[in-house]
Structure 1
Amino acid sequence: MSTPRIVVVGGGAGGLALATRLGHKLGKRQRAEIVLLDSHATHVWKPLLHELATGVLNSSMDEVDFHGHSFTHHYRYQRGSLCGLDREKKVLNLAPINDDNGHEILPARELGYDYLVLALGSVSNDFGTTGVAENCHFIDSPEQAKMFQHDMINSFLRYTDPSQRQHPELSIGIVGGGATGVELAAELLDASRMLRAYGVTPNGNQKINVHLLEAAPRLLPGLSERISETVREQLEHLGITVHVNTAVKEAQPHRLLTSNDDVINTDLNVWAAGIKAADFLGELGLTTNRRNQIHVNTTLQSVDDPSIFALGDCASCPRGEDGTIPPRAQAAHQQATLLAKNLIRTLADKPMAEFNYRDYGSLVSLARYDAVGNLMRSSASKGMFLEGWLARKCYASLYRMHQLSIHGATRTSLGWLVDKLNRYLKPRMKLH
């Protein structure tokens, strides 16, 4: 009997944690071949992309190289992009890989599987808003985050010369008052402070205007009203202009047009309003919702094919009679843990367990200024409200927990020590 092959498509938070766990449980013992497929060569934890976008995070130090990681954790990495699926033959169609100059590195090819896990995460949803694709930055990937950081530094430099300025003061518009938009707004203020400290912007009085726009009546509509109001008060205290009940109907070069016909002048625009799964997921022949998320049952199997699973932001998993699991990093980690157990049980001809989501609370970082959130939530309790020093420490621990799931205790501890040393040895901000 041939060794079964489990292919995990997507090396994000859930996919990489799953491949790591399966590598140790099955790959190391040669009970299954574990393959991780991703179009990128490295992994960066998505909740940190707003720090990468402002230069606070140095990707060369915090990214995970799939080739090296796969060797250590007993799975096989393949670089490629999924573009088609033949469920009858159990074959994935992979698009060719080109270099930066458009030259083909790897041709189009096929990859067979016995069990397939789709863990492709999500991308920003512009809802078809006019001009967004052409005039707004997205921060869905490390490449997009680095592109924004490059344009941000150039914008700061441009404002040192009055003849190059678009507006009297440098202005950045962020559309979307969810966690990404809120955290990015605070990081931008901190980034402007550090750029002045490093002499990138020699005018010490140069100001930055950050406009945060949310179509809902309050920021962070998915979290409690107490967290929402605390975050808004903190942002406004920092000098960020918060616009609620404000939808954007068009993005133009250097300005945003709202549904109220107001004009907000900007130098840079960022779109962080809403998410969806990648469009091509709706073309694979699997049942999806209007956001291209794959419908799965409580065992995380596709409702169309028991050998295909999905987890994280690209999956629509039922929760109760009418709800679905929220697209959050903690949900993806919990699903990865369950799915590893279910795949192991499947290979042993044992019944699979059902996914039961536990909400451990939410934390929102406001850069070095503050953090706000709650912990230990349950269906009967709103949890413990946190802000200040303790909330910042708890927020930082979330990344360490992710590192623990993909590196283990020893490497995570060593990584923590290296990070502490680098705070004294290297600049606090990446400046190129």
Structure 2
Amino acid sequence: MAPIPDFPSKARAASAPRILIVGGGAGGLQLATRLGSTLGRRGQAQIVLVDRLPTHFWKPLLHEAASGHRDPASHTIEYAAQAKRHGFEFVQGELRAVDRARRIATIGAVVDQDGTQIVPQREMHYHDLVLAVGSVTNFFNVPGAARHALPLEHVGHAEDFRKKFLAACAKVNHLADAPAPSPARPVCINVIGAGATGVELAAALRHAVGQLAAYRFRALDPVRDVRIRLIEGAPRVLPVLDPRISERTQAQLERLHVDVLTSTRVARVEEDAIVTSSGERLPADMTIWAAGVAGPAMLRSIDGLALSASNQVIVTDTLQTPDDPHVFAFGDCAACPSGASSAYLPPRAQVAHQQAVYLSQAFARRLAGKPVAGFVFRDAGTVVSLGQSGALYQADLRVSARSVIVDGPAAAGLYRLLYRKHLSGVHGIGRTLLQTLGQVLHSYGRPSIKLH
């Protein structure tokens, strides 16, 4: 007979300090899972996860959802189910305000699609507040960008883009398949920002067009009828990585017939075009903005919270705010010192993962009255996916002056492994293996892209 989980009594749990984690992204969900499985189950702390959505989707895969290569419904995690399995509580709602003096967080009401209130606004006391609210798109005050360019922050954005992309391909296919076809302007998709997200999205869209032509839109010429531009203000794509990986990536994108425009700054975004700083007007059926991130505007409403120029919460090396040891922040919403320089750590999934592991151990040590060392980030390298064309991996192994670059099957396998590593962090190895097997079996007999 399986042992009964050691859940604490209600009285014991009610007297334990409450750790309130706001944000169920890659870092927040993993931290809640780790703390719930340890401190929560032992009754040493109440672990509460707050998120405005009921489900989690791993953000680095949003470009695959936007291109139709991954069905979000098969890759979401129900927060309530995760909470039941791992000894924490899930509360749906959006953080509205924080009273740091009284240690009270105000959680906004939950409403349905018609605006009808389901759950009213609530107040929750906390002993420690952990902000893991991620990031939002930074439009850098470019005129028209917030109105006409699509962001890629969550599944809803990815689905909106995918449907518009599918409709545009259907329209141009219809014109090409007409009894007396006439030359039509190609569908123009502008991806602004050639960091990892922009590069991965551009490559995924180019592959998606080919698959749509093979499965459904037989009159569609993938190269002639769909034009994909990748626009970057810096002199090269992937500007924060090794120039060698930038060169290889751009060469591969050009082989995929992606128009790469570097040293090109966007001055204005219009409904049907973007205008560059040189005055050139580039037609656009869809424009997606992947040029930068910032902390959510909500952070500015928390009195006394020190914020960086990118609206991120400034924290010490213990991930606590300088003037309030009961408020923590990590992941994309935090400006954490890198240690090696005066710069902050970049908003990357592996940073959030390592910080979640660190905080889970730090909270346990604090409750035990033990000292806590500062967080140290260990860069495991960067991998960029080019879809069916493979991937590129860069790492600084500190054995030579130059970074190590890996491509081909090894890099592609490493990219796939990153998602499984995330899943094992929230599900454990056993459940992750079962889920992976189920997804592989489910993929047999199904098209490699979502067709509707």
The normalised TM-score by structure 2 is 0.92
* Cross-structure match for 1:407: 427
Shift of 1:102: 1.2
The amino acid across from 2:204 in the alignment is E
* Cross-structure match for 1:246: 264
Q: Are 1:424 and 2:444 counterparts?
A: yes
Shift of 1:416: 1.6
* Cross-structure match for 1:299: 318
RMSD value, Cα: 1.8
Deviates further, 414-423 or 239-248: 414-423
* Cross-structure match for 2:70: 57
What percent of counterpart residues are identical? 39
The amino acid across from 1:187 in the alignment is A
* Cross-structure match for 2:4: none
8 A Cα contact 1:360 1:378, kept in partner: no
Q: Are 1:172 and 2:185 counterparts?
A: no
Shift of 1:160: 2.3
Runs of 4+, deviation exceeding 6 Å: 163-166
8 A Cα contact 2:172 2:184, kept in partner: no
* Cross-structure match for 1:344: 364
Shift of 1:381: 5.2
* Cross-structure match for 2:8: none
Equivalent-residue separation in structure 1 for 2:398 and 2:225 (angstroms): 43
Match of 1:198 among 211, 215, 219: 215
Shift of 1:378: 4.2
Q: Are 1:188 and 2:208 counterparts?
A: no
SS in 1 for 2:173: coil
Q: Residues 183-332 of structure 1 correspond to what in structure 2 (within 5 A)?
A: 183-200=200-217, 202-204=219-221, 207-285=225-303, 286-320=305-339, 321-332=341-352
Shift of 1:375: 3.4
* Cross-structure match for 2:151: 138
8 A Cα contact 2:216 2:451, kept in partner: no
Shift of 1:389: 1.1
* Cross-structure match for 1:390: 410
Q: Are 1:3 and 2:16 counterparts?
A: yes
The amino acid across from 1:195 in the alignment is L
Query: Larger Cα Rg: Structure 1 or Structure 2?
Result: 2
SS in 1 for 2:442: helix
The amino acid across from 1:411 in the alignment is R
| Structure 1: stretches of 5+ with no match in the other structure | none
* Cross-structure match for 1:152: 165
Q: Deviations 1:197-235 (Å, cap 9, x if unpaired)?
A: 221454356531100000011111111111111101100
Match of 1:109 among 108, 117, 122: 122
The amino acid across from 1:367 in the alignment is G
SS in 2 for 1:31: coil
Equivalent-residue separation in structure 2 for 1:305 and 1:352 (angstroms): 16
The amino acid across from 1:328 in the alignment is R
| Structure 2: stretches of 5+ with no match in the other structure | 1-11
Equivalent-residue separation in structure 2 for 1:167 and 1:212 (angstroms): 22
SS in 2 for 1:153: helix
Equivalent-residue separation in structure 1 for 2:36 and 2:244 (angstroms): 42
Equivalent-residue separation in structure 2 for 1:98 and 1:107 (angstroms): 9
Deviates further, 100-109 or 79-88: 100-109
SS in 2 for 1:242: strand
